[in-house]
Structure 1
Amino acid sequence: MKLLITGGAGFIGSALIRYIISETTDEVVNVDKLTYAGNLENLPGMSQSGRYSFEQVDICDDSEIRRILNQYQPDSIIHLAAESHVDRSIDGPAGFIETNIVGTYTLLEATRHYWQTLEEERKLNFRFHHVSTDEVYGDLPHPHDSDNDDIPCALPMFTESTPYKPSSPYSASKASSDHLVRAWRRTYGLPTLVTNCSNNYGPYHFPEKFVPLMILNALEGKPLPIYGKGDQVRDWLYVEDHARALYTALNKGAPGETYNIGGHNEKQNIEVLHTICKILQQLCPQKKDYRDLITHVQDRPGHDRRYAIDSTKIQRELGWAPKETFETGIQKTIEWYLKNLDWCRRVQSKGYKRERLGVKK
C-alpha cells in the first residue's frame, strides 16, 4: 500500500512511520506542517528510504492537500495531525479550533473528492483512519472520591460507546473532529474509522510533555512540577505499541467502527513521577534524592481526574495487545532519553522555551 500520514513528524506519527518502513513493505507519504512539535529528526534514516516521501504542508491548505492526493495517489490515509497540548489549548484555543476542526474538515473534503475518482476496487479498499484521544470522553470515577467508597475494585472504563464529555478546548476540538469524520461516512459514504488512545509515552516525545519534562528537569536539578496532589489517573500506552495498533486497525478494522487503544496501565501521575525518580537514581545516581525536586503546583482548570481505556474490542476483533508493561516501557523510555540528550537539546534550542508546567499531554 501507499499510505498518506498527516502529522508524521510528530511523536505518534513518527513512531508509526518508523514502524511501517522497518516492519512492512508499504510506502509512506508524510504530510506535516512542522510546527513546534514536528521534527524530522524523529525520522532518522527515512530520507534514504525509497519508500518514504515528505511534504511540508498545512492540512488547512485545501489546494495543497488536493495536489498531494492527486500526485501520490494514496491507498489510505491515517490522520494524526493535531494540536494536542491541553495547557496550550487553555492559553490559546484558536489554533486548536483551526487545526483540529477546520484542518480535519479540509482533509475530509479533499479526500472525499479524491476517493470518488478511484477505480471501484481501490475505492472499496480505501480507508480514512482518524486518530483521536480518550480525552473526548471526559473523565471517570476516581478511586479516591469519597462518594465512591462503595464502588467495587473494577471501576468503569471508557468503551467505544461511552458518550462524549470533553473538558478542555483541546479535547472539545478533538471531539468535534471525531464527529466530522463519522458524519462524512454517514452522509457521503467515505470509508472512515476512528481510534481513541490513552496517554502515550516513549522515545522522541516532545519535551513539554509530562514524562520527558520530568526526566530532563530531574537531570538538570530543576523542580518537578505536578498538578495538585498528583493523584490524576491515566492509562499509559507505550508509543510503539500504539503504532502497531494503528497499523492493525487500518488493515483489519471495519469502516464505520471505533477502536479504543489502551496500555492496561492505570497509574496516578505521582506514581509515574516516583517511578521516574527511582529509575534515574539507579541509572544516574545523585547524593540528593530526585524525589526531593517534586513540587506540587496549583491544579489545571477543569482537570480530568481519571482516564481508563477498555481495549477489549481491538484485542478480541483485531488481535492486537500491548507488548510493553508500564515497568518495561518506562525503563526503555528513560534509557532512550539518557542516550539521546543531544536530540533533546536540539529540540529545546529551536526557539522553544520549556514551560513551567507540563503534566498532561
Structure 2
Amino acid sequence: MERVRVGGEAASRDLRELPKAHLHLHFTGSMRPSTLLELADKYGVHLPEALTGGEPPKLRATDERGWFRFQRLYDMARSCLRAPEDIQRLVRETAQEDIRDGSRWLEIQVDPTSYAPRLGGLIPTMEVILDAVDAAQRETGLGIRVLVAANRMKHPLDARTLARLAVRYADRGIVGFGLSNDERRGMARDFDRAFAIARDGGLLAAPHGGELTGPASVRDCLDDLDAARIGHGVRAAEDPRLLRRLAERGVTCEVCPASNVALGVYEKPEDVPLRTLFDAGVPMALGADDPLLFGSRLAAQYEIARTHHGFDDAELAELARQSVRGSAAPAPVRDELLADIDGWLAG
C-alpha cells in the first residue's frame, strides 16, 4: 500500500480528505441517530429498541420476514419527519456529515409519496424537499441533487406519476429516476413506461438491482429500463458476461459494502465482490445507503475497500474518480473534483 509520512511515521492517506461523489444515499436513512431520537421525542413517537439502543440494529433481509423488519424500522424513522423544518434539518445535517467524509457532490434519493400525507401532497412535498436542498447547498457549499425513486411495491401507474413529477422539477435539481424497495417484488419491465418518461425528460435512469436477487435483476434493469446506473449491482459479479457488458457500456454500480453485509447479502465485508467488479472494469460509486440503520457513512465504505480488499491509495483514488464520472455533476464540477483527487494522491 502506498503511504505518506506524517510526523515521521508512515501513514495511509486520510480517506476523509479524498474528494468523492456520493451517489447512493436514501433520504430518511441519511438521518443522524441523535436527530431521530430528538424528533421522536418532539412528536411523541415510541421507537423500538432497535432504533434507540445506540448501535445499528441487527438486520438480515435475505428473506421476506427480515426485509419486513428492515422496512418497518425505516417506516418508523420516516414517521418522525412531519414538518418542513424537519426536512430542512435532515438535509442540512446530511450535507454536514457528507462533507466530513470528503463528499463534494451528493445525489440523494427520495420517494416523495412517503412524506406527502404529512406535508400536504406530492407537489408541496417536492417543493419542501427542493427548498431544503437549496438551503443546505447555500449553508454548506456541498453540491446536492435529487433522484426521485418509485417503489416496486406500488402500482406502476404510481411510478409514472412520479416520473412526470420528477421531469417537471428537472430545472430545480432533480437529475435522475430510481426504483427501490424489495427487488424480489415487481418486475422491472412493469416500470418501463415510467422510466421512458424520465429518460425522455432528460433524467438518468438509476434503478436498484442485483442486491437481494441475482444477476438477472441487473440484466432486467439494463434491458427493460435502459439503466445508466445500477443501485447496488453487486450480484453481477456472479456472471462474467454481465460484468463485461456493464464495463463496455460504462454503467456505474452504486456499491454499498456495509449495507450488503448488514442485510445479509454477504456474510463478511471481505465477501463483497469489490475486487471482482473493479478488476472487470465495472465503474463503481461507493455509497452508504442508509447510515441510520447500517451505522457507517461514506468514508467507511472506502475504508472497507482498503482494509478488507487491499485497495491501495491509487486504486482508492480511482474509485473516487469513478464516483465523479458516474455522477450528474456539471462538467466544471467534475473537472475540479478529478483534479483534486489527483492532488490527494500526489500528497
TM-score category, normalised to shorter length: 0.3 to 0.5
TM-score, normalised by the number of residues in structure 2: 0.33
Say which structure, 1 or 2, has more relative contact order (CA 8 Å, 6+ apart). 2
The two structures have a TM-score, normalised by structure 1, of 0.32
Q: Determine which structure has the larger helix proportion and give its number.
A: 2
Q: Greater CA radius of gyration, 1 or 2?
A: 1
